[in-house]
């Protein structure tokens, strides 16, 4: 049997082959089309049971199978799998796009909305019907047939362009290596980075050390390598990824232009002024002007702190590092030196206290303290030997969710960190519902020789962040798929649970129990922790304006504000307003900005800062009552995590906090109050 057609349990990752993809997608789309025909051909008026539920079931199986294919394409990319993915992507895209435009289906939902049956539905199901009607309008259901055809082609072109954008980045990252034969060039680098580079060279039958652009290599080079020339070399390679400075077939320049143009055309077809207006139709923010006012106000508050950060860095570089002209490839290196000088600790020192087993145990302890849940290791087929699988079990020994963790960077795996759904909670009938399952993916350094993997504190924060997304998906108590877990949650609120979890990485009661030095086993010393707290807001001004820079760039290019400027020129003008670090003219940041060109953050990157207001304010209630307070944890679970998209994010926040959010906690957390 084709493993992609088996929905009896967890995915059969040990059986799935690229050859299974074509057959499975063809079969599942036929099933969906059959279910659609049956729904539309019935003589009864549309109800939840005879209209919504049968379509949900068929479409859920298609989504689940395609989700497995897309996931494997991201984490174990091979030429065969990529070909299968690219062959079927247009088919999948067209199916969903046609469904969103289906006139009779749209009429059926309108009929259900105006019927007496609608008034008998739960508030959750009423919201689903209203969301569907909105999404039909945004999918082009009210367009003429000619316009629908144009919209459909744009949808398909955009899907293929996004996939190509991400593949170009992956290919650039995978191909690049830099061979070092002079040991002196590696001075300052951590031993595990040097060891990995030596092993990579040996595997490639070369003598020396092979450096790459993958995060576990690139970031330490930027932060620790004494050789300024080496830092500049890797910085240039990273800054010019997937651009005109590399292979023409991997250049994202034309894709960026096409994506922006096609999105603008879609927005115009639907009657919106620009794509940002279309994007915000389903978000908390009401307009692009509101978003830009929010970002500019935050920039005004952060810019003085950022300027001070920069001036301190430039002065230290001149006085202590013999660097008279600070360049971007010096920033991380000099910052680390300044941090050590000012706070008497380094990231490398801290990293030795965060071995993987202690970090995971500490994370799971937080989950147990807050929500009364235990994390149990389980065995199931996985896609790589490094992947592990766990169950979340409540006090009644019932499994409430399960998740895979894939922590390490490797060739064939796209960069970054993310959570994605494997299975979403959905009632199948009676008291039977599917157990939600999540992927949690990171790109940390893998274990070296006989030493365990150790994480920087920033990587620990990343892990907690992604686990926050995972809990949002896993702890839902909503049984209707369309608003279960993260489904139906406004995009600018979806980061609330993830950023909320980051706060625990700064609590002594949490950190102490998740540390153990790799040589002595001793906990993180309290004195070192206190120095980390003192350094918590080190360069927070620079970091804040950097996020604002990206957010304004995203919003402006999707507001049609190019005014005959290229995206690079727009970015340059924004930097003049808010940034304190000016990259060189050859820097091609947009070419690697996959969040907005290949992900779901187009005209939505501001969500990170928008949701940070919510998360900081939500966490302040824990600060008032005890950060591991089980009562407040239960309240957070019930009002935020459990509700999914069944009501507006603002309503959920107010139900938890007792009032609307304020920016005060965010500014205080960043030392800018």
| pLDDT tens digit sequence for 300-335 | 999 999 999 999 999 999 999 999 999 999 999 999
Residues known to be catalytic: 466
Q: Please answer whether residues 524 and 574 qualify as being in contact, where contact means their C-beta atoms are separated by less than 8 angstroms.
A: no
Looking at the structure, tell me whether residues 133 and 225 fall in a common domain. Answer: no
> Residue 378 maps to which CATH number?
1.10.1370.40
Find the helix or strand (DSSP H, E) in which 255 lies.
helix 253-269
Tell me what the mean pLDDT of segment 17-46 comes to.
96
Rounded average pLDDT over 178-186: 97
Report the pLDDT value the prediction gives residue 563, as an integer from 0 to 100.
Answer: 74
Task: Name the nearest CA neighbour of 403 among 426, 428, 375.
Answer: 375
What value does the mean pLDDT of the chain take? 96
Query: What tokens were used for 197?
Result: 């580079």
Kindly indicate the confidence band of residue 515, based on its pLDDT and cuts at 50, 70 and 90: very high
Q: Are residues 523 and 378 in the same domain?
A: yes
Q: Quick one: 129 and 191 in the same domain?
A: no
461 within domain boundaries: yes
DSSP element (H, E) containing 260: helix 253-269
In a domain, 151, yes or no: no
Q: What is the CATH number of the domain that holds 90?
A: 1.20.1050.40
**Residue 268 located in a structural domain:** no
The per-residue pLDDT for 560 is: 86
Give the pLDDT confidence of 114-167 residue by residue, as tens digits. Answer: 999 999 999 999 999 999 999 999 999 999 999 999 999 999 999 999 999 999
Domain final residue pick, 486, 508, 536: 536
Q: Report pLDDT for 561.
A: 76
Which of 518, 536, 554 is a domain's end point?
A: 536
User: Quick check: 87 pLDDT over 90?
Assistant: yes
Tell me: the pLDDT tens digits for 103-117?
999 999 999 999 999
pLDDT band at 539 (very low <50, low <70, confident <90, very high): very high
Residue 440's pLDDT is 98
Q: What is the pLDDT of residues 413-471, one digit of tens each?
A: 999 999 999 999 998 877 788 999 999 999 999 998 788 999 999 999 999 999 999 99
- Two structure tokens written together for 536: 């918590």
Q: What DSSP character marks residue 388? A: E
Rounded to an integer, the average pLDDT of 240-244 is: 98
Are 101 and 191 found together in one domain?
Answer: no
Check whether residue 387 and residue 451 sit in a common domain.
Answer: yes
Domain shared by 505 and 405, yes or no: yes
Please indicate, yes or no, if residue 148 is contained in any of the structural domains: no
**87, 93 contact by CB (below 8 A):** no
CA distances from 197 to 169, 216, 409, 449 (A): 21, 11, 14, 13
- Residues 395, 477 within the same domain: yes
Is 27 within the bounds of a domain? yes
Q: Give the whole-angstrom CA distance, residue 61 versus residue 49.
A: 18
What is the average per-residue pLDDT within 523-546? Answer: 97
CA neighbor of 594 nearest in space, from 395, 417, 341, 383 = 417
Q: Are residues 184 and 68 in the same domain?
A: no
Domain count for the chain: 3
pLDDT score of 320? 97
Last residue of a domain, one of 240, 258, 277: 240
What is the phi/psi pair of residue 406, to 5°? -125, 100
Residues 598-611 pLDDT 10s? 999 999 999 999 99
Task: Look at residue 403 and tell me whether its pLDDT is greater than 80.
Answer: yes
Q: Which pair of tokens denotes residue 579?
A: 């940034």
Range of the domain at 126: 3-142
Considering Cα of 583, then 502, then 347, then 356, what sign does the dihedral take? Answer: negative
Domain membership of residue 625 (yes or no) is no
More confident position, 564 or 398: 398
Distances (CA, A) of 362 to 268, 370, 511, 516, 622: 50, 12, 7, 11, 18
Stretch (H or E) spanning 569: helix 567-578
Look at residue 562 and tell me whether its pLDDT is greater than 80. Answer: no
Residue 294 resides in a domain = no
pLDDT of 564 reads 83
Residue 259: which pLDDT band, with cuts at 50, 70 and 90?
very high
Q: Residues 128, 209: one domain?
A: no
Q: pTM (2 decimals)?
A: 0.96
- Per the CB < 8 A criterion, the answer to whether 88 and 118 are in contact is no
- Asked if residue 547 belongs to a domain, the reply is no
- Indicate if 63 and 180 belong to the same structural domain: no
pLDDT for res 9: 95
Q: Could you tell me which residues come within 8 angstroms of residue 16 by beta carbon, excluding any fewer than 6 positions away?
A: 3, 4, 68, 69, 72
Q: Which two tokens stand for residue 589?
A: 């940041």
Same domain, yes or no: 360 and 509? yes
Same domain for 112 and 199, yes or no, is no
In three-state form (DSSP H/G/I as H, E/B as E, the rest C), the secondary structure along 574-628 is HHHHHCCCCCCCCCCHHHHCHHHHCCCCCCCCCHHHHHHHHHHHHHHHHHHHCCC
For 211, list phi and psi in degrees, rounded to 5. -95, 150
């Amino acid at each position: 049997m084709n493993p992609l057609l088996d929905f009896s349990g967890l995915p059969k990752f040990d059986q799935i082959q690229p050859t299974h993809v074509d057959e499975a997608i063809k079969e599942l789309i036929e099933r969906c089309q059959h279910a659609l025909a049956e729904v539309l051909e019935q003589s009864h008026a549309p109800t939840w049971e005879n209209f919504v539920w049968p379509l949900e079931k068929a479409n859920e199986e298609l989504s689940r199978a395609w989700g497995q294919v897309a996931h494997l394409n991201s984490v174990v990319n091979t030429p065969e799998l990529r070909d299968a993915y690219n062959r079927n992507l247009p088919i999948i895209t067209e199916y969903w796009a046609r469904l969103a435009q289906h006139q009779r289906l749209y009429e059926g939902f309108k009929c259900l909305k105006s019927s007496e049956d609608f008034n008998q539905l739960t508030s959750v199901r009423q919201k689903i019907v209203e969301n569907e009607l909105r999404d039909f309008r945004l999918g082009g259901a009210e367009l003429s047939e000619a316009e629908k055809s144009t919209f459909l082609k744009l949808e398909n072109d955009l899907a293929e362009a996004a996939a190509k954008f991400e593949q170009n980045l992956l290919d650039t990252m995978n191909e690049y290596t830099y061979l070092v034969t002079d040991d002196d060039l590696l001075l300052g680098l951590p031993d595990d980075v040097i060891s990995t580079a030596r092993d990579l060279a040996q595997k490639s039958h070369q003598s020396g050390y092979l450096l790459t652009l993958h995060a576990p290599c690139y970031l330490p080079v930027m932060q620790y390598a004494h050789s300024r020339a080496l830092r500049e070399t890797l910085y240039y390679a990273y800054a010019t990824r997937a651009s005109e400075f590399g292979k023409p077939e991997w250049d994202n320049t034309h894709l960026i232009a096409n994506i922006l143009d096609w999105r603008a055309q879609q927005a115009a077809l639907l009657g919106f002024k620009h794509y940002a207006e279309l994007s915000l139709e389903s978000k908390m923010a009401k307009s692009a002007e509101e978003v830009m006012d929010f970002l500019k106000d935050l920039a005004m508050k952060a810019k003085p702190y950022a300027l001070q950060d920069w001036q301190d860095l430039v002065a230290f570089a001149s006085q202590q590092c013999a660097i008279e002209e600070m360049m971007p490839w010096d920033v991380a290196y000099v910052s680390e030196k300044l941090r050590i000088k000012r706070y008497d600790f380094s990231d490398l020192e801290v990293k030795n206290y965060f071995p993987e087993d202690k970090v995971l145990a500490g994370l799971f302890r937080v989950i147990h303290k807050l929500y009364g849940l235990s994390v149990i290791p389980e065995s199931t087929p996985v896609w790589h030997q490094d992947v592990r699988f766990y169950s979340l079990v409540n006090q009644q020994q019932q499994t409430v969710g399960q998740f895979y963790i894939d922590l390490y960077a490797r060739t064939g795996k796209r960069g970054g960190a993310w959570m994605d759904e494997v299975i979403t909670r959905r009632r199948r009938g009676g008291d039977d519902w599917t157990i939600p399952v999540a992927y949690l993916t990171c790109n940390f350094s893998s274990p070296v020789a006989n030493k365990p993997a150790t994480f920087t504190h920033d990587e620990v924060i990343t892990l907690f962040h992604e686990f926050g997304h995972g809990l949002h998906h896993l702890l839902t108590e909503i049984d209707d798929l369309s608003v279960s877990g993260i489904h139906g949650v406004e995009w600018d609120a979806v980061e609330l649970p993830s950023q909320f979890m980051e706060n625990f990485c700064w609590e002594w009661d949490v950190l102490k129990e998740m540390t153990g030095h790799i040589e002595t086993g001793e906990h993180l010393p309290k004195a070192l922790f206190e120095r980390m707290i003192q350094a918590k807001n080190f360069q927070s001004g620079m970091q804040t304006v950097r996020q604002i820079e990206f957010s304004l760039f995203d919003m402006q290019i999707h507001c049609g504000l190019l005014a005959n400027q290229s995206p690079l020129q727009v970015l340059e003008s924004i930097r003049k307003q808010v940034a304190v670090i000016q990259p060189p003219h050859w820097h091609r940041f947009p070419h690697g900005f996959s969040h907005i060109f290949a992900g779901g953050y187009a005209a939505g990157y501001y969500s990170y800062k928008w949701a940070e207001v919510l998360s900081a304010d939500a966490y302040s209630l824990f600060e008032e009552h005890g950060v591991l307070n089980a009562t407040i944890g239960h309240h957070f679970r019930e009002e935020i995590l459990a509700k999914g998209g069944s009501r507006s994010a603002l309503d959920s926040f107010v139900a938890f906090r007792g009032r609307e959010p304020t920016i005060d906690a965010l500014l205080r957390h960043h030392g800018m109050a």
